[in-house]
């Protein structure tokens, strides 16, 4: 099982084509097998099997600081974030005896890293990917391998307010190939399955769930990142992007032809990206075997076509709760006093769109969304 987390390099060497994508350059090195990533504003969280790193990308001297280390016989497989809480899936595997025990989902409060470990869900199934919307976590769950070592990937969900019982949403997403990442686009859950070179998806609000192929004919696809109406996908040694609200092909905007992987005595090949995150006009990507986070900078990535339109967003104030309506996708919200001091921050979405201000002192405050649009309100 741990071989899943170590992402055996098997099979595919993706070679660059004549696309005009930028070459990725080194950003941070000496991380331990960095793979999945998430962000909260300018803060990037990078997950390895044992260590979770926090990186302030706004710093002139960025560093990868370890904020969590998985316990003995536990290995992280994926992560998602809501507000200040990072939810992490972990595999319980005893390497010395090659024994798989199960998986769990934990909640890590980035504002209280010293708190006792909060395990919110345990399962005997292997959990390789997860994503959150509102108070609901969706995750992949593999059935136990049969006598021929075959398994089925299910999609399940739990409510974080009552996570003891998981509900099966999709009983048979795919066979024998693990899900490597999940991301939400509005009500649509997108699931990357690199073993099938596809991204599957479905609308979680449909009364009868129908899984479709959102993307196909990919290569060694891994991580997904949704920003506004656009998806970015790590596909082999390239990063592709496309708008999700219209029919379009992938445009490749980044590549790696510098750092190489090698399997045994086979010729070296271009190392494959494991995940991608867009912050401002920079893409950040992980190279697992090189222990690196690499990056490109492209002003076009920050254009409106790559970012959600905030013109239709409005804010209502009940004096105890701020409610933001009209969001197309996740938005980083910050509340400031008139002196410019940050009072609170929270990631908002179309489903989780409120901020509790009941404890605030009476006065005037400013709400900023993605550092682009501001609203003044009175408590």
Q: pLDDT tens across 112-166, in order? A: 999 999 999 999 999 999 999 999 999 999 998 876 778 999 999 999 988 888 9
Other C-beta atoms closer than 10 Å to the C-beta of 179 total 27
Residue ranges and CATH numbers for the domains of the chain are 23-297 (2.120.10.30), 314-378 (2.60.40.10)
157 compared with 376, residue with greater pLDDT: 157
pLDDT for 310 equals 58
Query: How confident is the model at residue 19, as a pLDDT?
Result: 37
On average, the pLDDT of the chain sits at 88
Average pLDDT over residues 1-19: 37
> Per-residue pLDDT tens for 326-373?
776 777 888 988 877 888 888 888 788 899 999 998 888 888 887 667
Task: Kindly report, residue by residue over 285-319, the tens digit of the pLDDT.
Answer: 999 999 999 999 987 786 644 455 555 677 888 88
Q: Is the pLDDT of residue 97 over 90?
A: yes
230, 244 contact by CB (below 8 A): yes
Alpha helix segments (H runs only) across the chain: 2-5
pLDDT in tens, 63-94: 999 999 999 999 999 999 998 999 999 999 99
Q: Rounded to whole angstroms, how far apart are CA atoms 279 and 207?
A: 35
Residue 111's pLDDT is what? 93
Contact 95/2 with Cβ under 8 angstroms? yes
Q: Give me the pLDDT at residue 20, please.
A: 60
How would residue 205 be classed by pLDDT, with cut points 50, 70 and 90? very high
Whether the per-residue pLDDT at 13 is higher than 50: the answer is no
Q: Say how many CA atoms lie within 13 Å of 2 toward its Cβ.
A: 17
Could you tell me what percent of the chain has a pLDDT over 90?
65
Virtual torsion, Cα 189, 194, 198, 200, nearest 10 deg = -20
14 has a pLDDT exceeding 50: no
Residue 2 has pLDDT above 80, yes or no: no
Helix (H) or strand (E) holding 4: helix 2-5
pLDDT at 376: 81
What are 354's two structure tokens? 């409120």
pLDDT for residue 371 = 66
pTM score over 0.85: no
Contact 57, 284 (CB under 8 A): yes
Q: What is the pLDDT of residue 312?
A: 60
Tokens (6 digits) for 276 = 């991608």
Backbone conformation region of residue 252, classed left if phi is above 0, alpha if psi is from -120 to 50, else beta? beta
Confidence at residue 149, expressed as pLDDT on a 0 to 100 scale: 77
274 vs 315 pLDDT, higher one: 274
Question: Span 190-216, mean pLDDT?
Answer: 95
Q: Which of 115, 47, 122 is nearest to 81 (CA)?
A: 47
Percent of the chain with pLDDT over 70: 91
pLDDT of residue 317: 84
């Amino acid at each position: 099982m741990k071989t899943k987390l170590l992402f055996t390099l098997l099979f595919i060497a993706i070679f660059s084509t004549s696309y005009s994508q930028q070459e990725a350059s080194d950003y941070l090195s000496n991380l331990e097998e960095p793979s999945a990533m998430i962000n909260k504003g300018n803060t990037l969280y990078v997950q390895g099997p044992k260590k979770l790193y926090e990186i302030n990308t706004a710093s002139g001297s960025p560093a990868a600081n370890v904020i969590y280390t998985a316990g003995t016989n536990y290995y992280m497989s994926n992560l998602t974030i809501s507000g200040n809480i990072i939810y992490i899936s972990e595999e319980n595997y005893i390497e010395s005896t090659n024994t798989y025990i199960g998986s769990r989902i934990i909640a890590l409060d980035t504002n209280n890293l010293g708190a006792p470990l909060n395990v919110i869900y345990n399962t005997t199934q292997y959990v390789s990917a997860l994503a959150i919307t509102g108070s609901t976590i969706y995750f992949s769950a593999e059935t136990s391998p049969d006598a021929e070592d075959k398994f089925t990937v299910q999609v399940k969900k739990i409510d974080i307010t009552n996570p003891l019982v998981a509900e099966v949403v999709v009983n048979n997403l795919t066979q024998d190939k693990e899900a490597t990442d999940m991301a939400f686009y509005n009500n649509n859950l997108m699931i990357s399955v690199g073993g099938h070179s596809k991204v599957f998806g479905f609308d979680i609000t449909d009364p009868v769930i129908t899984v479709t192929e959102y993307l196909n004919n990919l290569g060694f696809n891994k991580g997904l990142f949704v920003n506004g109406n656009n998806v970015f996908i790590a596909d082999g040694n390239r990063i592709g992007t496309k708008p999700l609200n219209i029919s379009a092909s992938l445009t490749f905007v980044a590549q790696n032809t510098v750092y190489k992987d090698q399997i045994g005595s086979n010729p070296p090949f271009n190392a494959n990206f494991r995940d991608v995150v867009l912050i401002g006009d920079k893409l950040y990507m992980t190279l697992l075997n090189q222990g690196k986070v690499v990056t490109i900078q492209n002003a076009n990535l920050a254009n409106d076509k790559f970012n959600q339109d905030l013109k239709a967003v409005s804010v209502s104030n009940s004096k105890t709760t701020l409610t933001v309506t009209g969001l197309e996708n996740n938005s980083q919200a910050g509340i400031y006093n008139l002196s410019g001091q940050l009072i609170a921050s929270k990631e908002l979405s179309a489903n989780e769109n409120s901020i509790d201000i009941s404890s605030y002192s009476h006065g005037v405050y400013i709400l900023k969304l993605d550092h682009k649009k501001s609203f003044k309100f009175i408590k």
